[in-house]
């Protein structure tokens, strides 16, 4: 069994190897190499992931058995669903798709997304609903790696695309403070409750699984819209 600090290092090493910041699609996205249609395809598909985040959080919340744990997970729902006055992450993502000129109904109905996006997102919701709570929490730890990617995404996209603005990228700014708060709790929880080598391994596997499903979404986007650029029948065409 690893010490808690060595375990944290092992978790961070998963991100260093597998987090989707290293995917070629992200390099293209951030560097300004994509067309507006390709950025639309990314935002449209990513909406499916965003819209399911509060659903996976709610399904974890439904399995937590103390008020304190539920309060922590409820906070994440507030971040994504808003409070009825301040918009949450799902609504802020629509500012991006609106800003990119995508039809609101086409986005929220998800009828144009890639099947691979849906499969990956549904695998995540199912994992969080069905696996032990400790693993479900560990799978959220990709947020340990998200603040860097968000910073480079926002600055890169603002500098390189004339069709994005601070307003259309409104989704990302609150995430710079929300994600570290989420991580502070989840990392502490996982370090404290992974009390055997087997549990530590299960947490590492959960984090790898999560990295894989983020990565798979970019593979699908790359294949459909970059090279060979063959969107499947029924999917969005720029």
Residues at the contact surface with a second copy, assessed by CB under 8 A: 54-55, 58-59, 61-62, 64-65, 67-68, 70-71, 74, 77-78, 80-84, 88, 90-91, 129
134 or 199: whose CB is closer to a second copy? 134
Give min distance, CB of 153 to a second copy, in A: 24
Give dist(CA 164, CA 210) in Å, integer.
28
Cα four-point dihedral sign 136, 141, 147, 152: negative
Q: What is the spatial distance between Cα 204 and Cα 207, in angstroms, rounded to a whole number?
A: 5
Of 73 and 225, which has the nearer Cβ to a second copy?
Answer: 73
Q: How far is the CB of 101 from a second copy (least distance, A)?
A: 23
Taking the complex as a whole, the smallest distance from the CB of residue 16 to a second copy amounts, in Å, to 33
Smaller CB distance to a second copy: residue 81 or 135? 81
Shortest Å, Cβ 58 to a second copy: 4
Distance CA 154, CA 166 (A): 8
CA distance 115 to 111: 10
Q: In the complex, what is the shortest distance from the CB of residue 170 to a second copy, in angstroms, rounded to a whole number?
A: 16
Neighbours of 29 (CB within 10 A): 22
Q: Are 238 and 40 in contact (CB under 8 A)?
A: yes
* Residue number with CB closer to a second copy (55 or 205): 55
Cα–Cα nearest to 15, from 206, 180, 170: 206
**Of 81 and 143, which CB lies nearer to a second copy in the complex structure?**
81
Tell me how far apart the alpha carbons of residues 60 and 70 are, in angstroms, rounded to a whole number: 9
Q: Give the nearer residue to a second copy in terms of CB position, either 15 or 88.
A: 88
How many whole angstroms separate alpha carbon 21 and alpha carbon 152? 10
Q: Please, what is the minimum distance in Å from the beta carbon of residue 132 to a second copy? A: 17
Closest by CA to 133, choosing from 57, 81, 76, 74, is 57
């Amino acid at each position: 069994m690893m010490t808690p600090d060595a375990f944290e290092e092992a978790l961070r090493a998963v991100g260093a190897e597998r987090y989707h910041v290293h995917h070629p699609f992200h390099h293209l996205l951030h560097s300004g190499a994509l067309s507006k249609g390709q950025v639309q395809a990314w935002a449209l598909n990513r909406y499916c992931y965003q819209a399911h985040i509060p659903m996976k959080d709610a399904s974890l919340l439904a399995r937590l058995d103390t008020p304190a744990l539920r309060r922590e997970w409820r906070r994440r729902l507030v971040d994504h669903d808003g409070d009825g006055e301040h918009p949450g992450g799902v609504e802020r993502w629509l500012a991006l798709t609106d800003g990119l000129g995508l039809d609101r109904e086409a986005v929220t109905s998800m009828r144009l997304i890639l099947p691979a996006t849906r499969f990956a997102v549904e695998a995540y919701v199912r994992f969080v609903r069905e696996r032990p709570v400790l693993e479900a929490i560990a799978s959220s730890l990709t947020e340990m790696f998200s603040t860097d990617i968000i910073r480079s995404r926002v600055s890169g996209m603002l500098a390189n695309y004339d069709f994005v603005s601070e307003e259309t990228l409104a989704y990302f700014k609150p995430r710079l403070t929300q994600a570290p708060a989420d991580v502070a709790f989840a990392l502490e929880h996982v370090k404290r409750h992974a009390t055997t080598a087997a549990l530590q391994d299960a947490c590492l596997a959960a984090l790898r699984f999560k990295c894989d499903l983020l990565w798979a979404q970019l593979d699908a986007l790359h294949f459909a819209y970059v090279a060979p650029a063959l969107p499947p029948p029924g999917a969005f065409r720029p």
